Amino acid sequence: MNERFVVLSGCSGGGKSTLVEELGVRGHHVVEEPGRRIVKQELERGGNALPWLDAAAFARRAIEVALSDRELARNRRGWVFFDRGLIDAVSALEDVTGEPMLQAFGAQHRYHRKVFLAPIWPEIYRGDTDRRHGFEAAVAEFERLQQAYPALGYEVIMLPKADVSARADFVLSELSIHPTASQF
């Protein structure tokens, strides 16, 4: 288990990426969402590992990227905040294929025991060129993750529906990190 690796997960369009950016501005190590990076790469090269074309291929790539992210983060000192992570990718693949793999991956590659979930927040949800699924799919994803993390022994903490600064303060407080502490 790596207690320095903190996952921010939950509903698509719930403000996770904005929160991760804020934590980075505050001097913490952050890891961008694997899915966003994969979509960008696949669109640039004309690939098919896109959630709206081949969800299983997309989830498999997300697993690879999340594992690589974890490996790279091992060399960083201090806290590392992940915009989604391995559990999200494995949960998505399990959902698409029906192959039970969450328990195996979840036991082998642990994050901090506290996982922060962005709640369903219709007022800020926006689709874009990289997020083409609708709000209903985002809700289904949230519900799946809300079950997956506790099933793996994580303590799920819901992020407040608040501005990004208040959310960052909340996360850091829950982890007993001084809100203005930098680790660089």
**Structure confidence by residue, pLDDT tens digits, 33-81:** 998 899 999 999 999 999 889 999 999 999 999 999 999 999 898 999 9
- What mean pLDDT value characterizes the chain? 88
| pLDDT tens digits along 133-149 | 667 777 788 899 999 99
**Amino acid making up residue 112:** H
Token output for 80: 């590392």
pLDDT recorded at residue 184: 45
The domain locations on the chain are: 5-174
What are the backbone dihedrals phi and psi of residue 92, each rounded to the nearest 5 degrees, phi first? -65, -45
pLDDT recorded at residue 152: 94
H or E element at residue 157: strand 155-158
6-to-3, 40, 82, 111, 114 alpha-carbon distances in Å? 7, 24, 6, 6, 7
Enter the CATH code of domain 5-174: 3.40.50.300
CA angle 65, 55, 71 (to 5 degrees): 10
The pLDDT of residue 6 is above 60: yes
| pLDDT tens digits along 68-108 | 999 999 989 899 999 999 999 999 999 999 998 888 877 78
Q: Please compute the mean of the pLDDT values over residues 2-17 and round it to a whole number.
A: 87
The pLDDT of residue 128 is above 70: no
pLDDT recorded at residue 10: 87
Report residue 47 CA to chain centroid gap.
23
108-to-24, 66, 122, 138 alpha-carbon distances in Å? 27, 13, 34, 27
126-to-10, 11, 37, 43, 83 alpha-carbon distances in Å? 15, 12, 18, 20, 17
The pLDDT of residue 117 is above 60: yes
